[in-house]
A and B are shown apart, each in its own frame.
Chain A
Amino acid sequence: MTPYQKWIAFHTIYIKEVRRFMRIWVQTIVPPAITIVLYFIIFGEIIGTRIGPMEGYNYTQFVAPGLVMLAVINSAYANVVSSFFGAKFQRSLEELLISPTPNYIILHGYVLGGVTRSILVGGVAAVIALFFTDLSIQYWGIMIVVLLLTATLFALLGFINAVYARTFDDVTVIPTFVITPLIYLGGIFYSINLLPELWQKISLLNPILYMVNTFRYGTLGISDINVLWALTMIGVFICITYIYALHLLRTSKKLRQ
């Protein structure tokens, strides 16, 4: 394929992905928005007012960046895992696999689709946050970069999950038993400085902590960890998952016998 043909193939996959999640916007855009509203009402307004300031911000302001990241992570992952597994399950993926479209174009198309949905949902979450609290962005560049990197990483992880999944249960196992606990223990609702020293060290093993804190640094200017180190770690994770996803596309017996 010529570079132009590859571009068309990539654009086709990407538009198909966007069309898919926009077609079912009630399932893809609305639920995270409702979840975020509930978080702000319960943790921000009802419980948050009794907690008091954290790291110099009121509790609603403190949790707002984490809640945006929560929406971004879940949406990026869910979009790719459900779309790619759905295509595999319905066997419509076969038409893509038998086409001359290179594997990396397939991966890029699906990942960018997931990133797009997650940014859209993240934007909705940010708008909702503004109804509950004031947010003055400290570092736009860092905020945007970490948002995109996080969305890319979880879109890649969703892709890998989808390749391995045999049933719809397999699609929900990782989000339920791995990602959700990591998110809740990733410093969305608290600063790890509040934890005993041992738990602080254990928390540092959680990759989501780096993403949430870097995003919080971009929005509020505060972080429990070194931002440059966090960005480097996210970049390394992306490289590893990208190479592995491509490897699976090339070799997985779950796609080609």
Chain B
Amino acid sequence: MPFIPHTEADIQAMLATIGAPDIDALFDEIPPALRCGELEKIPQGMSEMEVGRLMNARARQDGQPLCFIGAGAYDHHIPAAVWQLATRGEFYTSYTPYQAEASQGTLQLLYEFQSMMTALTVMDVSNTSLYDGASALAEAVLMAVRANRKSKSKRILMPRSLHPAYRRVAHSIVRNQGIELVELPFDMESGQTDSLVLEQYAGEDFAALVIPQCNFFGVLESVDELTDWAHTNKMLAIAVANPVALAVLQPPGEWGEQGADICCGEGQPLGAPLASGGPYFGFLTCTQKLVRQMPGRIIGRTLDLDGKTGYTLTLQAREQHIRRSKATSNICTNQGLMVTAATIHMSLLGAEGLERVAAACHANTSKLVKVLSALPGVGPVFKGAVFHERVLRLPLETKDALRSLAAHNVLGGFDLSADYPELGNAVLVCATEMRGDEDIEQYRSKLERVINARIQTPCKLKPDW
């Protein structure tokens, strides 16, 4: 019996103590008519070896293509120590630190995490994480609406240049509370949020303006101007940031005259593998003024009976287990294990290491863009400065190009045509520090072949598998 330690003698002794004839008798309060059958559609159990064989085959099946997709999930080097430490049983198999005295390891680590995130974003306080960047944005929106007690506006300005999945997730999560997300268009030339359109909303009643840095196109937004504009118009400024980019880019706490009010984003670049999209973690930091609007777990430093320093869950009166229907959010947990990895990851890299990673990503993407732009019909769509992603125009349908590249085991980027038809045949590419010169050359040569094939056969390109 996998994972069940009971011997037949144990079972009989335990049943005798209980005074039950057999195990089935322990279910006598369940109405017999409700009892289910054999679960026939579930296969029989397998040994670890057999499951291992199955999973190895499936993992191999997906190959390991050369990946130039970013679009919210980035392939960074993760130091070997990160997951060896994070998967220690004491981190991996503990739970939320309800018993503080028996959880000082997790609690101190989370306090260190909060300290690192406030340092990186230059904000006053951080929680201990949310599910992912997109749900963190939804929570930031809810925070902004709650914090706006004066006008009680339920409208939020959200740029179209923000990750499409983030916009969808925010909509799914906040719409039942009557919150409206108003889309701000971007400037077709620069790729930045369109300041002329923004000006049309001046003086209107919104709870917040969302400011991505960089935006989904990799383009840097004029964050100082946007932040000041939000504050002038009595809105909160919500920053959505990439934590690796923050190592080199101006931190949200210093945007404009007063800094952003809330900063959120995807923590994946800090030590989480791509792994099909999760688990990652969302981070959320804010000004001191908004701390009681924050959702999620928060750790505080305090003293024990002897005056010794210790760490504990604090501000719990915001949370669902105390406030029930009036809680700041329904969230119970955080993404603890991912945060454990992130804290170790940041400790190993330090500020300088993160800066090197950021700069290497920027340099590699610049190189990739330069090399690919030498091909006929390929070139950058936007003029604005970018961090480590860029939108390229292609001389053929993006879907066809990406399909052909994939057949050559190159994932050539994210197809923008469904979310941004106005951009035509456009692809969002990214080369992190993991993509070397040879990788970039592979992409170039494969794309060249795809384009040449297309020029030679002007009919609809067929995937060559």
Chains A and B are bound partners:
no
> Which B positions have Cβ atoms within 8 angstroms of A?
none
